Structure formats: C-alpha cells, structure tokens
Structure 1
Amino acid sequence: MAYQGSFLLGISWLQPVFDAMNAVLNPLVQMDPTPNNPVLTVFVISFIISLLTVTAQKLLVDQDKMNEMQAKSKALQKELREAQASGDSKQMAKVQAKQMDMMSDQSEIMKMSFRPMIVTMIPILLIFAWMWQSSIRNIIVVFPPAVYYCTLTPIFHSLGQMIYGGNITTIPYGIGWLWWYFICTFGMSQIIRKFMGFKNGF
C-alpha cells in the first residue's frame, strides 16, 4: 500500500516501517467496538505513547536533581521578591549572584529534559503519520456539553479544523481525532506519572 498525505508517508524507505505498523495497528482498529469510528483505538494508542514518554522521562532525567533545582529556583524567586519589596539593594545583589551560580545547573537540567524528547520524537511522529492516513483521521467524538466546554474545546476547535479537516463543525459538541488524542494523552500521562512516583505533573 502506498501512503500519501504526509511528508513522512511519502518517504519510500519508510514503507516497511508503515507496513509493519499496519500489521500491528490495523487489527487493533478492527477489534475496536466501533471500527468505523475507532475512539477506543486512539485511547489505547494514547496510553502507549504516554507510557513511552513518561518512561523515557523517568529513565533519562534525574528527577531528584530536577526537583531540587526547581525548589531552589522557587526559593530564590521568593527571596528576590522579598528583597525587591524591602528595597534592600544588597540583598537583591546577593540573590542575583545566587541565580548566576545556578545557571550552569539549570543548563544541565535543560539538556536532561531534552533527552526524552529526542528518544521519543521519531516513534511519535511515525505513529502520528500512521493515524493521519488511517480511518482514525475521520473519528468524531461527541462530548456532553459540560465536558465540551470544560476541556476548552471551543477555543481549539477552529485551529483543529484547519489542521486535520473533516466534518466536525456539523456535529454539535463533536471533536476530531487530534483533540481526542491530546485529551487522552494528557489524562493518561498524569496517571502514569503518579504511578511512577513523579512529584510534578507536566
């Protein structure tokens, strides 16, 4: 099967990769209770991607050091606000000197935070490309009105319509696959992070 409609899908040497993904993911779509509108399949894929990204964060980022640096940064910000409120220029200079000392540590933390993204970026792009060309692209999920508004869907609906098209605007309180994927991924990531012992959310 030749793939069209995406930059990645048009790369010929990736054809075996997408064939393998078809072999694994197409049966998943067929097992969906509603294969013509595979909402559950997107939920499962979201769980897999969330597990992949959170596991990468757990293994590749020093969480203790990250939390320590965040605590120090918050403490310094508090000290700086207090110094500014009191007008104590000497204290402000001391706090700013501490911030300068922390810059190297913050740079290291930033590098660590990029590691999971580098590792997971390619698999996620491949899965996105596969979903884009599959029946998943035509998914319509209808929310109860309260959920529709609480998830800020109206704000992102117009943007999503431009990105992935479809006939979502004709369905009251309906959303497409991309926004459904983001909602599922956000929720599952929070649960997995909690299960893995992360102290902070996203």
Structure 2
Amino acid sequence: MARTAEKVESLAREDGELLDALDDVLDVAEEQGTVEWSDVSGEMTSGQWGRLIEKGLLVDADGNGFAVEDPDGIREALSDDEVEEAASFDTDGDSSWSQWDKLAGVGALAMMAGYSLTSVRNTIGGALDVIFGPLEAILPFYVVVMVLAMLTGLYSTLLQANLMDMDKMGEYQEQMKAIQEKRKKAKERGDEEALDRIQQEQMDAMGDQMGMFKEQFRPMVWIMLLTIPVFLWMYWMILSPAQSLHPQTITMPLVGTKTWTAGVLGPLQAWILWYFLCSMGFTQIIRKSLNIQTTPT
C-alpha cells in the first residue's frame, strides 16, 4: 500500500489533473471489474491514460482490458492530505517568465557588449553622464561609487522581494526535503526496491529544480538590465580623459593605495572591488532596515 501511495503522490506532483483521471478510471473499474480506453476517453487524454499504465497503476487483465492495481490503496492515497498538497503544487504557473521578463533578459545581454565595444560603452556612458555627471562634479569619485552601490543595492533588494515568490520556492525546497527524508528511511531499513522508486522520483523532480532556478533568476535579469548601464558609466568615467583632472587613487584596508584600474585580486580592478564592498554592505543594511526576506524560510 505504501508503494501505491508513493506512486499516486508522484503523479500528483507531476500533474494534479492525473488524480482526477485516476479517480475516473477507478470508478469504472469498480463498476465493471476492468476498464478500457474507450470507457474513459471522454474524461482524460491519451497521455494521461498512458501515464497511469507506465506508473503501474493499471495492469493488463489478460487481454480483457486493464485492471486497477491495489484499488483500496489508491482510494486511501487519493484522500491523503499529503497527496492533495502535492496536487496543488504548480511547478509551471508562477515560474513562467512573462514577455517583459524575456525582453529584459535580451536587453541585459545586449548591454553586456558595452564592456568590449567602445562605441556601446561611450553611448551608454555619455547618456548616463547627464544624470550622474553633476554628482561626480561635486563629490570625490569614491563617494560617487558608494552612492551608486547604495542605489543599486536598494532596487536589487526591492526587485528580489517583489519578483521572487518565496512561498513557491519554499514549496520547491520542502518537496526535495521530503524526498530526501524518504530516501534516508528507505536506506536505513535496507529497502532497495523503495530506493529505486525514490531515485525515479528524484529524476522526475528535476523539472521542479529547473522551476526553482527560473524563479531565482527572474529578478536577476531586471537587476542586470539596470545595473550594467551603471557599471558601464563608471567604467567610462575611469577611462575618460576628464578623469585625469581628479585623483586617480584610492586607499583600501589590506590593499593599500591603488590606482582605480590596478588589479588588486588577480584581474579584479580596484574600482570594481570598492563597488562590490560598498554594495554588499549597503544591501545588508537595506534588507535589515526594510525587513525584506530574499531567501525562503
């Protein structure tokens, strides 16, 4: 019976509508003894019918249609709370990207060309200089970097809080945790057959892992779309001849005094390291101040 419950729960996670199909098949089988595709073709798709056979819930009845394997176990599983919860778990709904999300991703990739193409960098840098230029004219460049790090940290936190569904991600993690718990118990009792079934369930859950990845990456494309131009402006300023009129060095702990373009950690230049240090610090302060959670609990 436990094996039947696992099969039904696996179907529920895969597609909640399969439970309705299974219920229809069970009703017909209990009435007629066996069931054929023609008996239920109006209630389900051929794909759903085939999936029930693949799962072993329908078995061949010696050429006289199909019989339901362990009907009592299936009835009990269909009324189980865990199965109902698994059926309500939609791995596609909230994780699908909108057209705007995809356009943001394309735009972010296009702007990345500015790091290697001077014409793109000059165009974006010149355009943003209208906004950031006055700020740079009255403040030291290292302070300007701090201000931009605080700005990017603020909108990055807000985008993650609004575009990531923490409840959905929590469900993904809870699902994987449940599978790992079942695997641990099966391993402790030495049930090789159960381990094989759980291994297959883990393979089926790989699609859910992709959904979780999409959920995490969705706000990143918007963050990149807004942050890459800021980075290009800073890079444009560093390389600009006008920067020769301003101090070109910064003194950082453990690093000492370095020029903005000097490598401090391998190829990582001083201005990039300074930005990342400021960004990480301000981001943590913003999250704590606004009480924003960006990871599932």
Tell me the distance in 1 between the aligned counterparts of 2:230 and 2:294: 29
Give the 3 Å change call, closer, same or farther, for CA 18–157 of structure 1 in structure 2: closer
Residue 158 of structure 2 is aligned to residue 55 of structure 1: yes
CA contact (8 A) 1:46 1:184 kept: yes
- Asked which structure has the greater RCO (Cα within 8 Å, sep 6+), the reply is 1
Deviation at 1:163, TM superposition (A): 4.5
Q: Does 1:24 align with 2:131?
A: yes
Q: Which amino acid aligns with 1:157?
A: V
Q: How far has the Cα of 1:65 moved from its partner?
A: 0.6
Percent of paired sites with the same residue: 30
Query: 2:277 corresponds to which residue?
Result: 183
SS of aligned partner of 1:134: helix
Deviations 1:43-76 (A, max 9, x none): 2111111222222222222121112212332443
Is the CA contact (8 Å cut-off) linking 2:183 and 2:198 kept in structure 1? yes
CA-to-aligned-CA distance 1:84-120 (integer Å, 9 cap, x gap): 4654324423433442343332222222222222223
- Secondary structure of 1:70's counterpart equals helix
Is 1:141–2:276 an aligned residue pair?
no
Please report how far the alpha carbon of residue 198 of structure 1 lies from its aligned counterpart in structure 2 after TM superposition: 0.9
Shift of 1:83: 4.3
For 1:56 and 1:106, the matched residues in 2 are separated by 22
Q: 2:295 aligns to what?
A: 200
In structure 2, relative to structure 1, the CA distance for the partners of 1:22 and 1:103 (3 Å cut) is: same
Q: 1:87 and 1:191 mapped to 2: Cα distance? A: 49
1:126 to 226, 229, 232: 229
1:70 pairs, out of 173, 184, 191, with 173
CA distance in 1, matches of 2:145, 2:201: 47
Deviations 1:143-194 (A, max 9, x none): 1x5xx7xxxxxxx9341xx343xxxxxxxxxxx1111111222223333344
Whether contact under 8 Å (1:141, 1:180) holds in the other structure is: no
Task: Indicate how the Cα distance of structure 1 residues 191 and 7 shifts in structure 2: closer, same or farther if over 3 A, else same.
Answer: same
> Matches of 1:55 and 1:45 in 2, distance apart?
15
Say which structure is richer in helix.
1
Say whether the 8 Å CA contact 1:83–1:91 is kept in structure 2.
yes
Cα distance between partner residues in 1 of 2:117 and 2:286: 29
CA contact 2:160–2:294 (8 Å) conserved in 1: no
Give the alignment of 1:159-170 within 5 angstroms. Answer: 159=266, 162-164=267-269
Whether 2:119 is the aligned partner of 1:10: answer yes
Deviations 1:30-49 (A, max 9, x none): 332xx2xx222212111111
TM-score, scaled relative to structure 2: 0.47
Question: What is the DSSP-based 3-state SS (H/G/I as helix, E as strand, rest coil) of the residue aligned with 1:112?
Answer: helix
Paired letter, 1:11: V
CA distance in 2, matches of 1:191, 1:81: 39
Point out the structure with the larger strand share: 2
SS at match of 1:157: strand
Report the TM-score, using the length of structure 1 for normalisation.
0.66
Aligned Cα root-mean-square deviation (Å): 3.2
State the alpha-carbon separation in 2 of the partners of residues 193 and 87 from structure 1.
Answer: 46
1:78 CA displacement: 4.8
Return the alpha-carbon distance in structure 2 between the equivalents of residues 21 and 61 of structure 1: 29
3-state DSSP class of the match of 1:198? coil
Task: Look at both structures and tell me which one has the larger radius of gyration over its CA atoms.
Answer: 2
Secondary structure in 2 matching 1:140: strand
